[in-house]
């Protein structure tokens, strides 16, 4: 959570610092702030709410300096307020910093600092860092930062400036992401490269326990562990800036739903050998293939939407690759005593590659000797770097907080992985061909579903007065019921529950009446008849039904109040099509209810706290 940015160089810092916050706003948006050193005088502005509130304030102020830092916040310690917004400073307002992460021992540190005479202005954990640096400061900012960090426990991406040691930014990283863009006589700092794209394509990804001292003429990276200098070369990023524009859509959320066909094309490009029914995953080819052949158990670990993709993956992999699969929630996994050995593959699934719970589970799995793999969208992210091997989604940046195109791609990658592992085992050439041929049809089949856009918009209008929804599905579409409900909650704040259709009779059916509609995901698959019986149960209790079914199903009109059709495909791939109407439904309901569907309240895109 939280986005940080920094600039030092030949241009006015505030332009980049504001633009970067706008691009990082998905990481948190309850308050924001900026500080610029103008002729060595720190000028700080903060505001509550989204970045445009800060931008308005900045218009009337002189922020002319060539060095500064900025921050967009997702509150953890202390409510969203100007006092709690970053940047935070020491007692005298000489040292300023922005922070992403959590300082776990801040209470003890704060108590000691107060006893030493420091006065605090905020309720945040972050402010202790500024006072610690102050207490160690003897003229060199980097030395004071080194000493302060030795006392800190927790996670941080930090950028610090000081009026008493100006012309430099000192940064440090542990467990929270931080990148640096290298321009000509200028440096850009940010939580992720999307904030830097367009300014430079030369990026350095900082690793844990690295501290860097940056001036406009050069930078130095030092290990916080042994104080040795680290030589690190930059990466060239290939990133299309138009990908972070709305390109004619009213919202990123809608744009990203409509990008799903493209997302699938990008995820499968160069990865299918149709004539051999084979899949080629370059990221896994670096591994000893016998190691992959020997896997006898897979644990998929992810949070939220990515976890639901994992559930679909579990069904696909067990049925077609014949490997036992379990799906774990990132925040639970490491608190249990998971049974893992070297033949267990732990696959973490994450769009951002920075989700703290998933990352912590990954470390635990590594410690226990599992083979660790990743399905990650953000290139160079921590999970991508920490896993032994993996597969990138390649769907481009996902800006809307609620994940859509990444989810579709996660299922696609899990299906590709099923063929990859399955063909090493018992999967026949015919089956390999059948699945890969069908995966290749997915972009055009999704296009077909998206043609229902107008109908779904009308449905959203019709149902916008309802405050409760039940989403139901079986087998491959049970996770889609969960995902449909999650999306509706997130972007409309309307209460929704996802439920396996067969579980309805064990409790949720008690809620059904004429004011509690049910959305059934019931394509013509091996469990269609069972879903039909559950629809009967809902109808018998006067419940309204919206049904997502396969084209050509006419009988459904006898039971459902509203019907959305999806094209026919392999049962295992139906989730990729059935989730699209649910995404559109949530988007249009949200717009109908005047919700900010790109940045729902209380959420952040990268959940970097546990
Ligand atoms: C919901 C949503 C979240 C994320 C979850 C994991 O729409 O986007 O539930 O799926 O926070 O995020 P990543 O995939 O970045 O690990």
DSSP secondary structure string for all residues of 407-445: HHHHHHHHHHHHHHHHHHTT--HHHHHHHHHHHHHHHHH
Query: Mean per-residue pLDDT for 72-76?
Result: 86
C-beta separation of 113 from 132 below 8 A: yes
**Cα–chain center distance at 133:** 32
Could you give the residue numbers annotated as active site? 2, 605
Condensed to tens digits (0 to 9), the pLDDT of residues 322-374 reads 999 999 999 999 898 888 999 999 999 999 998 999 999 999 999 999 999 99
Give me the mean pLDDT over the 385-393 stretch.
95
Cβ of residue 361 lying under 6 Å from some atom of ligand 1 = no
Spell out the SS3 assignment of 495-552. EEEEEEHHHHHHCHHHHCCCCCCEEEECCCCCCHHHHHHHHHHHHCCCCCEEEEEECC
pLDDT of residue 239: 65
Q: Is residue 440 within 8 Å of residue 538, measured between CB atoms?
A: no
Section 503-516 average pLDDT: 96
Task: Indicate whether residue 350 lines ligand 1 (CB < 6 A).
Answer: yes
Taking residues 495-505, report their average pLDDT. Answer: 97
Closest ligand 1 atom to 383 CA: 16
The number of beta carbons lying within 10 Å of the beta carbon of residue 64 is 13
Which ligand 1 atom lies nearest to the CA of residue 304?
A: 9
Average pLDDT, the chain: 95
Q: Is 403 in the pocket of ligand 1 (CB under 6 A)?
A: yes
CB-ligand 1 contact for 490 (6 Å cutoff): yes
Q: What is the phi/psi pair of residue 448, to 5°?
A: -65, -40
Model pLDDT for residues 248-283, shown as the tens digit of each residue: 899 999 999 999 999 999 999 999 999 999 999 999
CA 606 to ligand 1 center in whole angstroms: 7
Best probe residue, ligand 1, of 403, 493, 597 (max atoms within 8 Å of C-beta): 403
Percent of the chain with pLDDT over 90: 86
The length of the chain is 610
Q: pLDDT at residue 507 above 70?
A: yes
For 426, counting Cβ atoms within 10 Å of its Cβ (0-12 exposed, 13-18 middle, 19+ buried), the class is: exposed
553: Cα within 13 Å, side-chain hemisphere? 24
**Nearest-angstrom CA–CA distance, 101 and 150:** 16
- Check if 609 has its Cβ closer than 6 Å to any atom of ligand 1: no
What's the confidence (pLDDT) of residue 62? 86
Ligand 1 contact, 303 CB (< 6 A) = yes
> Tell me, what DSSP letter sits at residue 229?
B
Arithmetic mean of pLDDT, 495-513: 96
Distance (angstroms) between ligand 1 centre and the Cα of 179 equals 21
358 within ligand 1 shell (Cβ under 6 A):
yes
DSSP label of 365: H
High-pLDDT (> 70) share of the chain, %: 99
The residue whose CA has the least distance to atom 16 of ligand 1 is: 350
- 580 C-alpha vs ligand 1 centroid, how far in Å? 17
> From the CA of 303, how far away is ligand 1's center (Å)?
6
Are 96 and 160 contacting, i.e. CB atoms less than 8 angstroms apart?
A: yes
Q: Is 387 in the pocket of ligand 1 (CB under 6 A)?
A: no
Which tens digit of pLDDT belongs to each residue from 210-256?
A: 999 999 989 999 999 999 999 999 988 776 666 667 878 999 999 99
At residue 609, does pLDDT exceed 80? no
| Mutation pick for ligand 1 pocket among 177, 306, 405 (CB with most ligand atoms within 8 Å) | 306
**Model confidence over 285-328: pLDDT tens digits?**
999 999 999 999 999 999 999 999 999 999 999 999 999 999 99
Q: Which pLDDT does position 605 carry in this prediction? A: 78
| Residues 549-563, mean pLDDT to the nearest whole number | 98
- Name the β-bridge partners of 160: 97, 170
> What per-residue confidence (pLDDT) applies to 242?
63
Bridge pairing between strands 518-521 and 545-550: parallel
pLDDT band at 598 (very low <50, low <70, confident <90, very high): very high
Cα(523) to centroid(ligand 1), Å: 26
Ligand 1 atom closest to 358 (CA): 16
Q: Does pLDDT of 442 surpass 90?
A: yes
pTM of the model: 0.82
Average pLDDT of the segment spanning 124-146: 97
């Amino acid at each position: 959570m939280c986005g940080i940015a920094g600039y030092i160089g030949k241009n006015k810092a505030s332009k980049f610092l504001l633009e970067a916050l706008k691009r990082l706003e998905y990481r948190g948006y309850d308050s924001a702030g900026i500080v610029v050193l103008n002729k060595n005088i720190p000028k700080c502005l903060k505001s509550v709410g989204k970045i445009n509130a800060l931008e308005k304030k900045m218009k009337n102020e002189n922020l002319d300096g060539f060095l500064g830092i900025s921050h967009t916040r997702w509150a953890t310690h202390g409510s969203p307020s100007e006092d709690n917004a970053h940047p935070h400073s020491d007692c005298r307002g000489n040292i300023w910093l922005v922070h992403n992460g959590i300082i776990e021992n801040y209470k003890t540190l704060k108590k000691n600092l107060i006893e030493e005479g420091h006065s605090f202005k905020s309720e945040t954990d972050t402010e202790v860092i500024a006072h610690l640096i102050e207490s160690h400061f003897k003229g060199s900012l980097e030395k004071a930062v080194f000493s302060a960090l030795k006392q800190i426990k927790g996670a941080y991406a930090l950028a610090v400036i000081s009026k008493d040691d100006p012309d430099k930014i000192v940064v440090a990283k542990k467990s929270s992401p931080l990148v640096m863009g290298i321009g000509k006589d200028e440096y850009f700092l940010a939580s992720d490269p999307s904030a830097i794209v367009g300014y430079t394509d030369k990026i350095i990804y900082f690793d844990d326990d690295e501290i860097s001292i940056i001036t406009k003429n050069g930078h130095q990276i030092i290990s916080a562990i042994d104080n040795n200098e680290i030589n690190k070369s930059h990466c060239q990023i290939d990133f299309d800036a138009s990908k972070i524009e709305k390109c004619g859509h009213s919202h990123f959320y809608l744009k990203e739903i409509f990008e799903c066909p493209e997302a699938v094309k990008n995820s499968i490009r160069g990865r299918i050998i149709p004539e051999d029914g084979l899949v080629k995953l370059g990221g896994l080819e670096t591994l000893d293939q016998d190691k992959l052949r020997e896997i006898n158990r897979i644990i998929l670990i992810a949070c939220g939407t990515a976890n639901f993709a994992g559930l679909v993956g579990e069904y696909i992999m067990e049925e077609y690759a014949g490997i036992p699969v379990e799906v774990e929630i990132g925040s639970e996994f490491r608190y249990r005593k998971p049974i893992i050995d070297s033949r267990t593959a732990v696959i973490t699934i994450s769009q951002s590659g920075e989700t703290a719970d998933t990352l912590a589970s990954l470390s635990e799995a590594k410690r226990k000797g599992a083979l660790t793999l990743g399905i990650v969208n953000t290139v160079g992210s921590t999970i991508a770097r920490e896993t032994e091997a993996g597969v990138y989604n390649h769907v481009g940046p996902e800006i809307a907080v609620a994940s859509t195109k990444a989810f579709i791609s996660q299922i696609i990658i899990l299906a590709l992985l099923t063929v990859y592992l399955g063909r090493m085992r018992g999967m026949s050439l015919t089956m390999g061909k059948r699945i890969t041929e069908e995966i290749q049809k997915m972009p055009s089949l999704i296009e077909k579903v998206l043609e229902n856009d107008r109908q779904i918009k009308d449905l959203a209008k019709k149902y916008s007065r309802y405050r409760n929804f039940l989403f139901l599905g079986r087998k491959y579409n049970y996770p889609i019921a969960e995902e449909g409900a999650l999306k509706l909650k997130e972007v409309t704040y309307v209460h929704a529950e996802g439920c396996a259709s067969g579980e309805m009779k064990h409790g949720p059916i008690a809620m059904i009446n004429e004011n509690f509609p049910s959305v059934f995901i019931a394509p013509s698959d091996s469990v269609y008849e069972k879903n039909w019986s559950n629809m009967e149960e809902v109808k018998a209790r006067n419940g309204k039904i919206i049904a997502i079914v396969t084209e050509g199903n006419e009988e459904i009109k006898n039971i459902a109040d509203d019907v959305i059709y999806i094209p026919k495909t392999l049962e295992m791939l139906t989730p990729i099509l059935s989730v699209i109407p649910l995404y559109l439904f949530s988007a249009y309901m949200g717009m109908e209810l005047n919700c900010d569907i790109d940045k729902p309240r209380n959420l952040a895109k990268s959940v970097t706290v546990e």
